Structure 1
Amino acid sequence: MLWKLLVEFLRPQRGLLLAVVVLQLAQSIASLYLPTLNADIIDQGVAKGDTDYILRVGGVMLLVTLLQIACAIAAVYFGAKAAMAMGRDVRGAIFSQVAAFSEQEITRFGAPSLITRSTNDVQQVQQLVLVSATLMVAAPMLSVGGVIMAIRQDVQLSWLIAVSVPVLMGAVGLIITRMVPLFRLMQTRIDTVNRVLREQLTGIRVVRAFVREDVETARFGRANEDVTDTALRAGRLMALAFPTVMLVLNVSSVAVIWFGAFRIQDGSMQVGTMIAFLSYLMQILMSVMMATFMAIMIPRAAVSADRIGEVLGTESSVRPPEHPLDFSGRTGRGELEMRDVGFAYPGAEQPVLSGISFTARAGQTTALIGATGSGKTTLVNLMPRLFDATSGSVRIDGVDVRELHPDLLWGHVGLVPQRPYLFSGTVRSNLLYGKPDATEDELWQALSIAQAEDFVREMDGGLDAPISQGGTNVSGGQRQRIAIARALVKRPELYIFDDSFSSLDTATDARLRQALRQHTAGATLVIIAQRVSSIVDADQILVLDDGRIVAHGTHQELLEASETYQEIVNSQLAAEEAA
């Protein structure tokens, strides 16, 4: 997966990579040329006292060194640009893929894991590209070129290369093979830390309300300790790699000097030749050490690439049709119909919904009510195709939603979820989310209908008042009303309110519903509610129980004919009387 990922996302950067290859090639040739010049100075200049030769060759060495430095700087610059661009493209691809996921895929991966995959995992691959871009040519070039140049200097000492290089590669390879499972475990445990931290930050009010700070601190501490323990174990192995490399380097240096000294003594080798051979051996072993840097990073990057590939390779269960229907020429106004709809979560023994059939007509209000766990929210998710029904069909104006492009479908639906979410920004930016070109009059009209105009005008800045992430700087009721106004600004053909009035007092709820009837005349309204008072005026009420519609009719009809609805009404009346 790592190779596939690199090939796919580095293809646009091939110009930069080609420049890096050329620069590293020039740098490597310069590095291989320097020891030979150094040997010539010692054997031809210093030994014979030829100052002119020393200055002339020394000047050449200086120029070669300057060229080497310039090539190294340029190679790192272009390599960094290629790596950063690749990281940008991978993060963009992950975000686009996740944005296309249905609720089913989001739930399967989990938000903390998706965050880790788009940040830490991408960074691991990006770092590998950065290191590889500066070493991918230099390491093999110095290794192969160093062997050739060393043999040219002295064949009889070349056996030292045949011994030291395999020893170094074998020792480092053994260490790396033990690091791979640790890196895989580390990424999983980073997921856990993100999940625990995200839960605690999101639920900080609950933690404080129940005085559970110590328990949550201990829970985070355990997750943190797991990551620390894994990182330390991997770090110990990584730390062992460098002393191993240095041990081989130093032993090899001593061996060259030891055996070279005997050859110099018997006159078969010159001092400059031995120093050049030693330099080439160091280059060979240093190139192996540079390759070791890459080899150490490859296992962790490979694990990260697998996790990234898992996201990029997962197709959304809600896929656009190959030939989507043109929805623009129809004459309907968002009429919603469900025909024998059923839904079961993957791996579940029993379906959540079974045999759901009803029609929500344009210009009417259709309400759904039922006990907790009866399947109301799941049914809501099927309407705008956040999930796909596992049986039956969901239709808008007679067209199966699976035959429409999701973007086109969602453009005709205004959904106010059970837990209203506001984005960081301002009141205005949140209201414009559904209709970017809405006028200020349209925004205030939507706020007025949602019974939010008064408190927004009192906020510092009005429409430009700041909203924090999730809308945590406003109350639950205010957040809910702004979310309702956001859907109203969009003016869709199908409104879906998923228990969107639960945070409102009875008087505000009544005023909002009265204003809604006037504003949404001609559109289709679907209201999911827990409170009977929110749906008494609905044109039809569907009663859900255990994933099935057990009764339907108006409020009065259900009071007379449905025991389940009577129980709901009586339980709420009893609660109100008790209050």
Structure 2
Amino acid sequence: MKYLLQFLTANKKILFLIIFSSLLQAFGTLLVPYFAANVIDKGIVEKNVPAIITIGLQMLAAAGFTALVSLWGSYLCADLAALTGKHLREMLFSKTQLLSVKEFNHYSTASLITRTTSDITIIQQTIIMITQMILPTPLIAVAAVIMTAVISPSLVFIPLTAMLLFFLVIGLLFLKANPVSKTIQGRVDTVNRLVRESIVGIRVIRAFDNSSYERGRSDNAFTEYADNVIKLNRIFAAFNPVVWTIMGLTMAAVVWFGGYQVLQQKILIGSISAVTEYTILMLIYLMMSAMVLVMVPRMMACVDRIKEILDIVPEITDPVEKLTISKTDNKQKIVFQNVNFSYKGAERPVLEDLSFCCESGKTTAIIGGTGSGKSTVAGLMLRLYDIQSGQILMEGKDIRTISQEELRERLSYVPQKAFLFSGTIADNLRMGHKEATAAELKYAAEIAQADTFIESLEAGYDSPVAQAGTNFSGGQKQRLCIARALVKKAPVYIFDDSFSALDFKTDAALRAALKQEMKEAAVVIIAQRISTIMDADQIIVLDDGRIAGMGRHEELLATCSVYKEIADSQLTEKEV
């Protein structure tokens, strides 16, 4: 709850106004029974028509005042809930941006989406109901007991007994509902995950004619979620008849004992009416509070799930005293010195004793079989993971001694899996350079061999991009991702197997354009096709996480058996 309390105390003005409106609402609500008692005693009993009209108008004014205050309070409660949701979503988003890849992968995408949307929505709804319905309840209950005591001290035991019974019922309800509420949001995670898979993977499902199996999986998840909700609703369903029974017994007790006191001429008839209305108001507010309180266990489960993310201490953090990389003539842009890296829980390192240098004006290529650690090298350069031993230097400084923001500002990256964001083509190309001009976008697209198909579109660079770029082919997405990296001017460019979807003609044209354009930058190309890296100034051959060879194409053919084996499997004798 510390995050909620921290935010609520930060909005003291709204919170104070809500409390003030609750006081006014309680005052106005309690005035109505008082005027009703006066109408009976001073108007109806005494047959005083002017008194009936005067007191009736006063009662109408009190009711109107209470309605306006209640409307104002509702607005304030909605405002507070909306700001709370905004605050929590901002905190969640900021936290997820700080997590390492390993930490991020610990929670599924569906779970993080559910926490950011459904969980926070439930918290918002509960905050509205708590501030609107529960906050005035203690005031109404205390005032009702006091007013009843003023009218007739002997009748006070009736509302007090009713309150005690209510608290017992609510306590039992919490004991039953709490464990069920905690499991519901986990079921929502599962439902979201399966629905997302069935939508994203619709082509694969249809290609394998697997609709019936997926329908069965989804039905099971829906059934489990429905069973939990039904079980919770059954617990709540038992609450209503019990509440109405308590209310009926309380009213009967008021009329019975109150009527007896009227006959004894100890109190007036109007006073009985007032006590009845005070008791009814108290019970109604208690009932509304109880209906809200049954939502609290589920809200607490949502708060715990959000707290679970917010309490994570990021594995990769910036140093307290950050170094800055000043402009320098150092041509050694990235240097790996005896780097060893392994994933948590792995039996052996993914990379062992890795040492090489990427210089400006030169192209460094990394090749190797599947699982040899090629993409891991790119992740280490970006500091998506931290190494266990050794050093990775950026222009002479250990990347762990500079901020992640500054490090990534000096790198331009094309991921292995081409990913585009919803928006327009221009929006995606400007991701690394917000102020890029239309001419700069076109120039980058020409180098990436993407200008032809972009200009063939009706809206050109303003053409819409669907979520994840699903309205473009694999090759088009790769070229757009390469153009996006080129728009961001950086000393180092990393291409992580980003030519795999291109045909050989486009690949060759793109590499020629890149070589011409990036004469001053350090270029790192991770590839599986030898044809993509044959012209590289330095080729690093990885085999099972170790460097099996390093040199140019011709040297490696003569000295590295692993590289020769890859070349023989991909190229003809003439091409070799």
TM-score, normalised with respect to structure 1 = 0.95
> Quick one: which of 172, 194, 197 aligns to 2:195?
197
Q: 1:290: which partner in 2?
A: 288
Match of 1:212 in 2: 210
Task: Give 1:536's aligned residue.
Answer: 534
Correspondence 1:92-491 to 2 at 5 A? 92-332=90-330, 335-491=333-489
When structure 1 is superposed on structure 2, of 420-429 and 548-557 the one drifting more is 548-557
Q: CA deviation at 1:101?
A: 2.2
The AA in structure 1 aligned to 2:93 is F
SS of 2:432 mapped into structure 1: coil
- Structure-2 residue corresponding to 1:517: 515
Q: Which amino acid aligns with 2:463?
A: A
Alpha carbons of structure 1 residues 29 and 334: separation in structure 2 relative to 1, 3 Å: farther
In structure 2, C-alpha distance between the alignment counterparts of 1:103 and 1:37, rounded to whole Å: 66
Q: Which SS does the other structure have where 1:324 is aligned?
A: coil
Are the equivalent residues in 2 in contact too, given 1:421–1:483 (CA < 8 A)? yes
- Tell me the secondary structure at the aligned position of residue 82 of structure 1: helix
Residues in 2 aligned to 1:445 and 1:45: alpha-carbon distance in whole angstroms: 89
**Secondary structure in 2 matching 1:327:** coil
Question: Following TM superposition, by how much is the alpha carbon of 1:390 offset from its aligned partner in structure 2, in angstroms?
Answer: 2.6
Give the aligned residue type for 1:447: A
CA distance in 1, matches of 2:486, 2:424: 17
Q: Please give the alpha-carbon distance, in whole angstroms, between the structure 2 residues aligned to 1:541 and 1:229.
A: 59
Do 1:333 and 1:523's aligned partners in 2 also have CA atoms closer than 8 Å? no
Distance change >3 Å, CA 267–CA 383, structure 1 → 2: same
Q: Is the 8 A contact 2:360 2:521 kept in 1?
A: yes
**C-alpha distance in 2 between matches for 1:334 and 1:523:** 11
Listed one character per residue, the Cα deviations across residues 129-169 of structure 1 (whole Å, up to 9, x for unaligned) are 11122134311100111111111122222222232211121
Residue 396 of structure 1, CA deviation:
1.0
Amino acid at match of 2:218: F
CA-to-partner distance for each residue in 1:406-440, whole Å, 9 max, x for gaps?
Answer: 11111111110011111122222211111122222
Which runs of 5 or more structure 2 residues have no equivalent in the other structure? none
Classify the secondary structure of the residue corresponding to 2:271: helix
SS in structure 2 at match of 1:415: strand
Within 1, Cα distance between the matches of 2:326 and 2:80? 44
Report the Cα distance in structure 2 between the residues aligned to 1:83 and 1:357, rounded to whole angstroms: 54
Tell whether 2:11 aligns with 1:9: no
How far is 1:345 from its partner?
2.3
* SS of residue in 1 equivalent to 2:154: coil
Q: How far does residue 333 in structure 1 lie from its aligned partner after superposition? A: 5.0
Structure 2 CA distance, aligned partners of 1:222 and 1:348?
34
In structure 2, give the amino acid aligned to 1:545.
Answer: D
CA displacement, residues 153-199 of structure 1 (integer Å, 9 cap, x when unaligned): 22222222232211121112111221112111111111111111222
Output the amino acid matched with 1:294.
Answer: V
Deviation at residue 353 of structure 1 after TM alignment:
2.1
Percentage identity across aligned positions? 38
SS for the counterpart of 1:504 is: coil
User: Does the 8 A contact of 1:172 with 1:244 survive in 2?
Assistant: no
Cα deviation for residue 265 of structure 1 reads: 2.9
Which sits farther off after the overlay, 280-289 or 503-512?
280-289
Query: Residues 247 and 574 from structure 1, CA distance in 2 versus in 1: closer, same or farther, beyond 3 angstroms?
Result: farther
Matching of residue 71 in structure 1 with residue 89 in structure 2:
no
Q: Distance in 2 between the 1:41 and 1:428 partners? A: 73
Matched, 1:527 2:525: yes
- Counterpart amino acid of 1:567? E
Please tell me the residue identity of whatever aligns with 2:238: L
216-225 vs 409-418, which moves further: 216-225
Q: Which amino acid aligns with 1:76?
A: S
CA distance in 1, matches of 2:414, 2:560: 28
Look up the equivalent residue of 1:265 and give its one-letter code: L
Q: Verify the 8 A CA contact 1:39 1:275 in the aligned structure 2.
A: yes
SS at match of 1:335: strand
Indicate conservation of the 8 Å contact 1:333/1:493, yes or no: no
2:493 alignment partner in structure 1 = 495
Report the AA paired with residue 78 of structure 2.
A
d(CA) in 1 for partners of 2:392, 2:134: 55
Paired with 1:247 and 1:550, the residues of 2 have a C-alpha distance of: 82
Q: Is this contact kept in 2: 1:360–1:366, CA < 8 A?
A: yes
Per the alignment, in what secondary structure is the counterpart of residue 432 of structure 1?
helix
Output the CA distance in 1 between the equivalents of 2:347 and 2:186. Answer: 28
Conservation of the 8 A alpha-carbon contact between 2:337 and 2:355: yes
CA contact (8 A) 1:367 1:528 kept: yes
Contact 1:401 1:409 survives alignment (8 Å): yes
Residues 5 and 245 from structure 1, CA distance in 2 versus in 1: closer, same or farther, beyond 3 angstroms? farther
Alignment-derived partner of residue 23 in structure 1? 21
Q: Given the superposition, is the C-alpha separation of residues 179 and 24 from structure 1 closer, same or farther in structure 2, using an over 3 Å criterion?
A: same
TM-score (structure 2 length as normaliser):
0.96
Residues matched between the structures, number:
575
CA distance in 2, matches of 1:439, 1:65: 62
Instruction: State the secondary structure of the residue aligned to 1:368.
Output: strand
TM superposition shift of 1:575? 13
Distance in 1 (alpha carbons) for counterparts of 2:31 and 2:81: 30
Distance 1:390 1:181 in 2: 42
For residue 76 of structure 1, give the secondary structure of its aligned residue in structure 2.
Answer: helix
Q: CA deviation at 1:119?
A: 0.6
User: What displacement does 1:525 show?
Assistant: 0.9
Supply the AA of the counterpart residue of 1:556.
E
CA distance in 1, matches of 2:450, 2:71: 59
Identify the residue that residue 53 of structure 2 maps to in structure 1: 55
Instruction: Kindly report the root-mean-square deviation, in angstroms, between the aligned alpha carbons of the 2 structures.
Output: 1.9
One-letter identity of the residue aligned with 1:59: L
- In structure 2, C-alpha distance between the alignment counterparts of 1:470 and 1:28, rounded to whole Å: 53
- More off after superposition, 325-334 vs 99-108: 325-334
Task: Tell me, yes or no, if the aligned pair for 2:332 and 2:396 is still in contact at 8 Å.
Answer: no
CA deviation after TM superposition for structure 1 residue 334, in Å: 6.4
Q: Is the 8 A contact 2:77 2:131 kept in 1?
A: yes
Secondary structure (helix, strand or coil) at the match of 1:156 reads: helix
Unaligned runs of 5+ in 1: none
Quote the residue 2:31 is aligned against: 33
What is the Cα deviation at residue 32 of structure 1? 1.9
**3-state DSSP of counterpart to 2:364:** strand
